[in-house]
Structure 1
Amino acid sequence: MRLPFPRLRPRPRPGPAVPAPPDAPVMEFRGVALTYPGPPPVEALKPCELTVMRGEFVTIVGPSGSGKSTFLNVAGLLDSPTSGRYLLDGIDTAGLPDRDRTALRGRRIGFVFQSFHLLPHRSALENVALALLYTSVPRAERLARARAALEQVGLGHRETAVPGRLSGGERQRVAIARALVGRPSLLLCDEPTGNLDSANAASVLALLDELHAAGMTVMVITHDPGVAARGRRTLTVHDGRLREEVAA
C-alpha cells in the first residue's frame, strides 16, 4: 500500500523565477569572505575570487578544517558572506532577505550529500517528488518529473523501492535524482562517494560525468584525490584560502 504524501502546511510560494542571462556565470565570487564572530573572530573563508561558467565540472579539495564546509555553505546560500559579493546566475545575493535566499537556493541549486538524507518509509519516487512539494508544481507533474529524474539516473525500474531495499549506490542515485528534479543551474555535491564502496563510487562518478557531458554544471567537494581528478578544474582550500590548481 502506498503511503500518501505528508499533510504539511504549505510555505508561501516564491515569486516567479527570473531567467538567467545565457552568458552569465553560474557562480561568481567577488572578494567573498566569511568571518565568524568571536571572541576571537575566526576568518573561516578569506577573500576569494571565483567564476564558474555554465557546463563546467569543478572539484574542491582540502584537508579537514581547511574551510571546505564554509565554502560549501556560502556557495549553497546556507550562510551569507560577511564581505564581498556572490552572484548566482547573475543574481546578486548580497542583502537578499532570508525568504528570497531560500527561494533562490531551491530554484537554482541541487544538493547531493554524503549521507543521502532519504526518508526511509517513502519510495524512491516519493523521495524525489518531495523535493517539489513546496513549489507551485501540481502533484501530477511532480510525479511525472520525479519519474523522469529517476530515468535520467538509471533507476526508472526502482521507483517503488524504499531506501532499505536499495544499495548504497542506488540510494545516492535517488539523491541525485532528487537534486535534479527541480532543474537547477548548479549541482553541488558534498563528498558524494564518502559512504560508498569502490564499485558504487565508480558508478556514481560515472553518472556525474554523464550529467556534465549533458551540460550540467557540477561542483564536487571532496577529500579524495581520485574524485578530485574527475573535475575539469580543481580548486584547493587551505587555511580558508581558495586557490586554483594549475595542471603541469
Structure 2
Amino acid sequence: MKLRFPRGAITRPGTPDQDLAVDEAAEGTAPPVIEFRGVGLTYPGPPPVEALHPFDLAVGRGEFITVVGPSGSGKSTFLNVAGLLDSPTYGRYLLDGIDTAALPDRERTALRGRRIGFVFQSFHLLSHRSALENVTLAMLYTEVPRAQRLVRARAALEQVGLGHRAHAVPGRLSGGERQRVAIARALVGRPSLLLCDEPTGNLDSANAASVLALLDELHGSGMTVLLITHDPQVAARGRRTVTIRDGRLSE
C-alpha cells in the first residue's frame, strides 16, 4: 500500500541546508519533507507486537495532513517514528531527503531539533517562566547565537498573536494562549515540519477553534503540518487524512 500526496508550498528556511531545499523546491526537485519507505515497527516480545505494519508514505512541502485512528491503533507509535523519537524496526525514513537510519544517535537528535517542531496536548510549559522565556529556552541547545534568541522568541510570539502577552506566566494565560505559546516554541527553530499530537485535546471549543485557525494560517504561509487526532472535526481541517487501524495505514 502506497500513499502519495501532492506537494504544496515551500516552508521558510531556517538553516543553510533548508535554504538548499527551498532552492531545489523552486526547481521542482525538492524531496518530500517526510518519506517512509516500507517502514514498520515491531516491539520485542515475548510475544513480539507488530505496532506498525510496513507502509510507504510521502508528505510534500506545505502539506496539511491529519492522522486519525481509535485508541491503541498505532497513532502514538507513528508519532514517535515520525518525530525521530523511535527508530523503525525495518524500512527507511527520509526527513527532508536525509536517510535517518544512517545517522548515529547524536546526529538524529540534532536533526530532530533542527527540522521538527512538536506541539502536544499537554502544553509542557514551565509554570514559573514567562511566555517569552519558555520560547527562548527552546533554543538553549541550538546553534542560534544568544543575542538572537530573544529576537527570535519575540517574533515567534508575534507570529502566533501573543506578542502582547510575552511577559505573562502560563498560570495567567488561557488554555488557548498556552497552546499558542507552545506553538511559538515549536516554530522558533524554523522547522521543516510541525508535528502536532492532539493539540486541541485540552481546550474548550472556542480555544480549539482559535488554535486550529492558527494552524490553518501557518499552513497557508507554507508550513508543513502533520496533526494526529481522534476528533473527526479536527481531522477534517487537513487537506489529506490518513487512518491508522491495528497498525495499518490507509488514506
- Taking structure 1 as the reference length, the TM-score comes to 0.91
SS of the residue corresponding to residue 33 of structure 1 reads strand
Paired position in structure 2 for 1:132: 139
1:29 touches 1:84 (CA, 8 Å); kept in 2?
Answer: yes
Amino acid at match of 2:142: T
Partner of 1:181: 188
Secondary structure at the residue paired with 1:94?
helix
CA distance in 2, matches of 1:232, 1:24: 19
* SS class of match (1:28): strand
Deviations, residues 99-134 of structure 1 (Å, cap 9, x unaligned): 010000000000000000000000000000111001
Where does residue 17 of structure 2 map in the other structure? 18
SS in 1 for 2:249: strand
Partner of 1:71: 78
Structure 1 counterpart of 2:169: 162
Which deviations, in whole Å up to 9, do the C-alpha atoms of 1:177-210 show, x marking residues without a partner?
0000000000000000000000000000000000
Alpha-carbon contact 1:123-1:159 (below 8 Å) kept: yes
In 1, the alpha carbon distance for the partners of 2:147 and 2:136 equals 10
Residue matched to 1:224: 231
Question: Contact 1:63–1:238 (CA<8 Å) still a contact in 2?
Answer: yes
Where 2:102 maps in the other structure, the secondary structure is coil
Residue equivalent to 1:54: 61
How far apart, CA to CA, are the structure 2 residues paired with 1:205 and 1:136?
Answer: 30
The structure with the largest helix share of the pair is 2
* CA distance in 1: counterparts of 2:35 and 2:155, whole angstroms: 30
Aligned residue for 2:109?
102
Is structure 2 residue 38 aligned with structure 1 residue 39? no
Which whole-Å CA distance do the structure 2 matches of 1:182 and 1:39 have between them?
41
Is the CA contact (8 Å cut-off) linking 1:86 and 1:92 kept in structure 2? yes
Matched, 1:123 2:130: yes
Matches within 5 A, 1:200-215: 200-215=207-222
Q: Post-superposition, which runs of at least 4 consecutive aligned residues in structure 1 deviate over 2 A?
A: 16-22
How far is 1:17 from its partner? Answer: 6.0
Aligned equivalent of 1:7: none
1:90 matched to 2:97? The reply is: yes
Which runs of no fewer than 5 residues in structure 2 stay unpaired? Answer: 1-14
Give the secondary structure class of the aligned counterpart of 1:107. helix
**Cα distance in 2, alignment partners of residues 238 and 65 from structure 1:** 8
Pairing 1:140-159 to 2, within 5 Å after superposition: 140-159=147-166
CA distance in 1, matches of 2:152, 2:204: 29
| Percentage of pairs with the same residue | 84
User: Cα distance, 1:137 vs. partner?
Assistant: 1.4
Secondary structure of the 2:101 match is coil
Q: Deviations over 1:60-103 (max 9, x none)?
A: 00000000000000000000000000000000001311101000
- SS state of the match for residue 126, structure 2? coil
| Cross-structure match for 1:11 | none
Number of aligned residue pairs: 229
